[in-house]
Chain A
Amino acid sequence: MKIGVFVCHCGENIGRTVNCPEVSKACASFPGVVHSEDYKYMCSDPGQNLIKQAIREKHLDAVVVGSCSPHMHEKTFRKACASAGINSYMVEIANLREHCSWIHEDIAEATKKAIDLMRFAVERVKFNHPLQTIKVPVTKRSLVIGGGISGIQAALDIANAGFEVVLVEKEPSIGGHMSQLSETFPTLDCSQCILTPRMVEVYQHPKIKLLSYSEVENVEGFIGNFKVTIRRKAKSVKEELCTGCGLCAEKCPIKKKALSEFDEGLSNRSAIYVPFPQAVPNVPVIDRSVCTYFKTGKCEMCKKVCGREAIDFTQQDTFVTEDVGSIIVATGYKLYSIEKKPEESIYKGYGEYGYGKYKNVINGLQFERIASASGPTSGEILRPSDKTEPKKIVFIQCVGSRDESKGFSYCSKICCMYTAKHAMLYKHKVHDGEAYVFYMDIRSGGKNYEEFVRRAIEEDHVNYIRGRVSKIYEEDGKLIVKGEDTLAGLPVVIEADLVVLATAMIAQQEAPKLAQTLNISYDKYGYFQEAHPKLRPVETNTGGVFLAGACHSPRDIPESVAMASAAAAKSLVLFGADMLEREPIIAKVDESTCAGCFYCQKVCAYNAIEKKEIRDRQGNLKKVVAFVNSGLCQGCGTCNATCPSKSIELIGFNDDQIFAQINAFAEV
């Protein structure tokens, strides 16, 4: 092997403390080195030309450059060498600047160290192999999990760019929490009015395949090449026949038994139901847990009235597989719920607020339904217990948020804004009513957000009280709210007609399970983890899987939409090329010595190790060995260090290369 050595002075940056000509001279005597020179600026055009010229004239096989950190110019020198005809992975960089000249003062010491670092690199490069970047084909389709506003936005963006999207929603309809909202801050425009056109657009889009009432069951493969298994839950209704006339739901005899999920339990629904009139798709499903037919085998009312014969009680869950190149996770959030029976709840806090015990203590989403024109009270503010108009209403912020002892230490971010909105909506509808808000701090960062809160306080005269509520109890049909005004330093007692708790936004309970299916990380709260908090906020550690909306952390609608578009853009970047190029630094198995203990599989964080059967010509199984899926391997080398027989090695950092470096240590 003919090795060329090039020592850069980096102006004076290296040259000031390292005697570069001496280093170059010392390197010339290393075994295998046929060319050695130093130059003022190796990374400059003339410097690169020196390397190229030497490669051509001396027929070099490998190059070692002593320069700045490989993180700076490794790519530059690799490219230069590649253009002169040697493989770019036959180049090694010795870090003579950051790791030597800049940190030492004594010229003799620094020069000696520089020679050592060069020797390490020269010894290492002798065991480098020409490598080719790995090219994997990209399936230009995307899977979006979750049909809330984030999922809808991501799906539409990708579909409008001309690529197919599979949109999976676990509920019977898309729309998510946004479809439940009355009006949205800070503009007070009607939520459904801006959302439903988007939902219809999704339904009618030729590039979007909507799978409602479905859940992701399994994910295999890797970036550009995922194979997703989706469970289509039995709707008990043949989707292709149903016209959405609604007669079945109307005639269903068990109107009173099931609580409407859409109305947050404030109204009832039938056993066969569409969640809300604008549902997309407008196809009902049978809730088998309450349906008389599924419980007793009798009734079949819906089947009798359906003119299209769309009801099918025998329907089973089915499974479909979809090939996609990217996955966008937009599974949203749920509200911290203080269950009706606190002892059965996984959330122990705030029993003292009486949620579940007192009908007139409700959460933010329930208030949205009460305030919504499509809600159970048709938009009239009426309290649940006796359907009378509350004259005094108390809003309590940070129920569960910012409270490590009872809930979660994070801020749910949207509550300050929606509480201001709630109070405002209330005041707009109940002119003689009084609204009180208990708050810890008002966090209203965002365009026109602070102005919005000021409007609630100044124009709509909402009473903001800084302090916590300690107890709520019922007395003569009133809710006695006992709290403290910490600014006045006085205890406060309010006889309220209705109390609204701004409960924390929390991760979906199934989030950790989905994270495991997708092989992405999640934090201690169950929110999905981004690849980098600053620079890769919508990517995950698994290539090709992106995050959108509140499944990542609490966020409001505009932020969710922005994140969804960002995730869509990330997918589209992926779809921009036919082949995906990857660094060839991946593990490789020596099948002849692999004993199949699969410890490598256990330590692999990327599920990149598979089992491969080796058979003889007659087809008899000879052995089962590890096999590296080059699409999934990220090149950490943990398998290499774990393998007792070194039958799996990380190309580019293989044992030979590191061994050579350690051996070179002998001459330090």
Chain B
Amino acid sequence: MEEKFEPKIAAFVCNWCTYTGADLAGTSRLKQEANARLIRVPCTGRIDPVFIIKAFENGADGVLISGCHPGDCHYNAGNFHARRRWILFKNLLDFIGIDSSRLYFSWVSASEGKKWVDIVDGVIDAVRIKGPFKQYKKMNKEIEIPVAVEEGVSVK
């Protein structure tokens, strides 16, 4: 019998709105599925499309990006620059064949704990239906995984 597929979702969120909104979801004890892993950045303007590619390379079945609503950016305009970047990148991914059901964008403010939960659960559900990102996983398999580094190996 096939094991039930549980998608892995990488979420890049801005510190001021969505991360805080997710905090609020926690303080309000709003239950959500446990498939998403958040990576905090100061602003959506900081999110480079290579992050998304790298997340897929590391086994993400879906990527979620979220920040402050337009006009609410803690840094005035970071989300506006980000939005323009996403329009271009999303169209590129579409053309290459990474369809929109793998990549999600949202605006979630610090007060929208409930919205955050709905978005996360929605993305998890959608990607669960979509199934594992086989095409990318196939590419990943080609790369030989380096032997686990021994303990004590110095890191920069």
- Give residues in A with beta carbon < 8 Å to B: 1, 31-32, 69-71, 95, 97-100, 102-106, 109-110, 112-113, 116-117, 120, 126-127, 521, 541, 585, 603, 605-606, 634-638, 640-642, 650, 653, 656, 658-659, 661-663, 665-666, 668
Contact = CB atoms under 8 A, between A and B. Distances in A.
Contacts of B123: none
B127 to A, nearest CB: 14
Sorted from nearest, which 10 A-B pairs have the closest CB atoms? A98-B26, A638-B45, A637-B46, A636-B75, A605-B76, A636-B43, A641-B48, A102-B26, A666-B58, A665-B58
Interface string B46-63: 111001001100111000
B41 A98 contact: no
B8 A641 contact: no
A95 B23 CA distance: 9
B34 to A, nearest CB: 4
B130 to A, nearest CB: 18
Contacts of B156: 126-127, 656
A116 B36 CA distance: 10
Contacts of A98: 22-27
A105 B32 CA distance: 9
Given A116-B37, A650-B42, A665-B10, A126 B155 contact: yes
Nearest to A127: B156
Interface of B: 8, 10, 19-20, 22-27, 29-32, 34, 37-43, 45-48, 51, 54-55, 58-60, 74-78, 81-82, 85, 117, 148-156
A507 to B, nearest CB: 18
Contacts of B46: 636-638, 640-641, 650, 653
B148 to A, nearest CB: 8
Contacts of B54: 659, 662-663
15 contacts: A31-B148, A97-B26, A100-B34, A103-B26, A606-B76, A636-B78, A637-B46, A638-B43, A641-B46, A641-B48, A653-B41, A658-B41, A662-B54, A665-B58, A665-B60
Contact of A99 (B22, B148, B149): B22
A116 B9 CA distance: 12
B151 A110 contact: no
A103 B37 contact: no
A668 B51 contact: no
B39 A635 contact: no
B79 to A, nearest CB: 9
Nearest to A125: B155
B34 A109 contact: yes
Nearest to A113: B34
Contact of A665 (B41, B55, B149): B55
Contacts of B25: 98, 103
A32 B19 CA distance: 28
Contacts of B150: 31
A662 B26 contact: no
B26 A653 contact: no
Contacts of B75: 605-606, 634, 636, 638
Interface centre among A106, A638, A658 (most CB of B within 10 A): A638
A266 to B, nearest CB: 42
Contacts of A656: 156
Contacts of A120: 37, 39
B37 A31 contact: no
A282 B50 CA distance: 65
